[in-house]
């Protein structure tokens, strides 16, 4: 228990330092109390009641009793664990040595069984007015699943080159040598790049001074193909000893299939810049998902957990009850993943996406798979449906997978007017999904099935797919 006590102090102090930057230090008050955790919020933080007020405490689990320090700064109130007095049966020691500093995971202190129950309960609470929720689809191996990683480079305390992730709520980089939720190959490549930077006298970028060369490294891997893409995000188009650097990196890692130099010389939190140059290979990699091959570029959106994506998409297609004669819209279609996968089971697919680069990728992917019954268009899916309705065209099913912010009333109104027989709603944010379901169920639809899927193990995020049908269908 002493180690847990020490780690909580360390982590909570760092978080409070970060938070103080965004809150004026007016009347910082500290109080200590022994409390019991009555539940957990959507971010996986424990909830306690203190002076008739709900307070979120990071790393506290439901049912636990703990000595907690309450920190109040004006209206901002948080808590930090001093010592666990009575631990939950689901409490475990985090596998990652950087867990208490890095904000990439939030639930490693909880067993995977506990995480699954937390996510199941969270979805059930949100969806209770719509029907019974199926048991969450979990992973057999809830580690090393991420096929895309992004590392930031800087100097460490001793002047050495380090790479890692930003601390939660700050721009302080936490050096990471091994991440337990990403492909281990990415850690190996980052280690080699750090070594080569010393040999080539390459400086990491200092975002405060605006000096240095290498800002970030983005690595994507094909789960089925094992192809590897390395994107070097640099501050200048002038890359000294570029060919020798590439040659040296490939010698260490012959498995790398393409290397891209992306130029980002702006003061921005965006990782990728607008200019890029392929310096080895084709500038793209391929992967196979649900028997379809996908061409992936540096900016392509592709689900980060291929094992669970296969289960997610299979379940979504199963909910649609296709008979082969349907005209289906793939709204927010991205590079065409689910649209092309379901094209084999329907009459035709219409994919609509605002991002023009994603539309180009989707068209390439349809040709790559020799799929003739799928068409992809750049535009707003809601407006597209209005135009279809005015032209007297019909849709049988709408498959939608919007961003975390959910859909908007304009799109949902267009969908209701078009009145497809079924709507399959995939969401990475069940909170906004529940909001949108309220609109759809008020305007002629009923929920048939609800299925959570654990796509983001060790974090509080959960994917959820809901199948709806028209009430008079």
- So where are the chain's domains? 2-91, 120-140+305-470, 148-289
**Confidence (pLDDT) at 52:** 87
Give pLDDT, residue 106.
93
Q: Tell whether the model's pLDDT for residue 23 goes beyond 60.
A: no
* SS3 assignment, position 276: strand
Task: List the one residue out of 366, 306, 302 whose CA is nearest residue 334.
Answer: 302
Examine the pLDDT at 2 and tell me if it is beyond 70.
Answer: no
Q: In this predicted structure, what is the pLDDT of residue 227?
A: 97
What's the pLDDT score for residue 30?
A: 86
Provide the pLDDT for residue 32: 92
At residue 7, φ and ψ (nearest 5 deg) are -65, -40
Least confident residue range of 41-55, 129-143, 164-178, 349-363: 164-178
Task: Give dist(CA 285, CA 218) in Å, integer.
Answer: 13
Would you identify the CATH topology of the domain 148-289?
Answer: OB fold (Dihydrolipoamide Acetyltransferase, E2P) (2.40.50)
* Contact (CB, 8 A) for 296 and 302: yes
Q: How many CB atoms lie under 10 A from the CB of residue 371? A: 17
State what percent of residues in the chain have pLDDT above 70. Answer: 94
Please check the confidence at residue 28 and state whether its pLDDT lies above 80. no
Residue 123, pLDDT above cutoff 60? yes
Task: Of 21-25, 44-48, 114-118, 264-268, give the lowest mean pLDDT range.
Answer: 21-25
Quick one: pLDDT at residue 21? 43
Q: Catalytic amino acids? A: 428
Instruction: Say if residues 439 and 86 touch (Cβ distance below 8 Å).
Output: no
Q: Fold match between 2-91 and 148-289?
A: yes
Whole-number pLDDT of residue 448: 97
What token pair was written down for 31?
């109080």
pLDDT band at residue 4 using 50, 70 and 90 as cut-offs:
low
Mean pLDDT throughout 180-196? Answer: 95
Q: Can you name the CATH fold of 120-140+305-470?
A: Rossmann fold (3.40.50)
pLDDT of residue 1: 40
pLDDT at position 431 over 80: yes
**In this model, does residue 248 exceed pLDDT 90?**
yes
Whole-number average pLDDT of the chain: 91
The per-residue pLDDT for 351 is: 96
pLDDT exceeds 60 at position 313: yes
- The mean per-residue pLDDT over the stretch 446-452 comes to 98
Evaluate if residue 473 carries a pLDDT over 70: no
Q: What is the pLDDT of residue 13?
A: 41
Confidence of residue 27 (pLDDT cuts 50, 70, 90): low
Asked if pLDDT for residue 375 goes beyond 80, the answer is yes
Residue 6, pLDDT above cutoff 50: no
Residue 399: predicted pLDDT: 97
Q: Indicate the range of 288-292, 332-336, 388-392, 424-428 predicted with least confidence.
A: 388-392
Name the pTM for this structure: 0.91
Q: Which fold has domain 2-91?
A: OB fold (Dihydrolipoamide Acetyltransferase, E2P) (2.40.50)
Helix axes 430-442, 409-418, angle to 10 degrees: 40
The pLDDT, as a whole number, for residue 166 is: 83
């Amino acid at each position: 228990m002493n180690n847990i006590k020490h780690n909580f102090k360390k982590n909570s102090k760092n978080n409070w330092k970060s938070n103080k930057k965004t809150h004026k230090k007016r009347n910082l008050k500290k109080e200590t109390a022994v409390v019991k955790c009555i539940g957990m919020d959507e971010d996986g933080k424990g909830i306690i009641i203190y002076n008739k007020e709900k307070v979120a405490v990071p790393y506290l689990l439901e049912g636990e009793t703990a000595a907690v320090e309450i920190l109040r700064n004006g209206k901002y109130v948080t808590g930090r664990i001093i010592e666990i007095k009575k631990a939950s049966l689901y409490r475990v020691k985090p596998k990652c040595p950087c867990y208490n500093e890095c904000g990439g995971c939030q639930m490693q202190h909880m067993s995977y069984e506990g995480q699954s129950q937390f996510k199941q309960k969270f979805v059930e609470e949100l969806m209770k007015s719509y029907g019974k929720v199926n048991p969450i689809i979990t992973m057999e191996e809830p580690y090393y699943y991420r096929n895309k990683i992004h590392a930031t480079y800087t100097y460490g305390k001793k002047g050495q080159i380090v790479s890692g992730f930003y601390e939660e709520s700050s721009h302080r980089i936490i050096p990471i040598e091994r991440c337990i939720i990403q492909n281990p190959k990415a850690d190996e490549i980052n280690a080699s790049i750090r070594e080569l930077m010393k040999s080539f006298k390459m400086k990491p970028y200092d975002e405060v001074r605006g000096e240095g060369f290498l800002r970030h490294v983005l690595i994507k891997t094909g789960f089925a193909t094992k192809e590897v893409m390395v994107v070097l995000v640099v501050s200048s188009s002038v890359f000294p000893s570029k060919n020798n650097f590439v040659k040296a990196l490939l010698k260490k890692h012959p498995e790398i299939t393409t290397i891209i130099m992306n130029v980002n010389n702006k003061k921005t939190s965006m990782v990728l810049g607008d200019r890029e140059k392929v310096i080895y290979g084709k500038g793209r990699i391929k992967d196979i998902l649900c028997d379809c091959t996908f061409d992936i570029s540096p900016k392509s959106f592709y689900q980060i957990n291929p094992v669970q994506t296969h289960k997610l998409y299979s379940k979504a297609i199963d909910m649609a009850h296709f008979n082969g004669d349907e005209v289906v819209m793939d709204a927010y279609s991205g590079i065409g993943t689910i649209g092309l996968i379901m094209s084999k089971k329907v009459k035709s697919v219409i994919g609509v996406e605002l991002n023009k680069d994603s539309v180009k990728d989707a068209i390439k992917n349809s040709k790559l798979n020799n799929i003739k019954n799928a068409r992809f268009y750049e535009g707003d899916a809601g407006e597209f449906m209005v135009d279809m309705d005015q032209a007297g065209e019909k849709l049988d099913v709408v498959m939608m997978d919007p961003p975390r912010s959910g859909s908007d009333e304009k799109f949902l109104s267009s969908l209701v007017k078009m009145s497809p027989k079924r709507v399959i709603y995939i969401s990475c944010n069940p909170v906004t999904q529940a909001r949108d379901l309220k609109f759809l169920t008020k305007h002629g639809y009923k929920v048939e099935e609800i299925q959570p899927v654990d796509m983001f193990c060790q974090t509080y995020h959960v994917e959820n797919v809901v199948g709806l049908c028209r009430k008079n269908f």
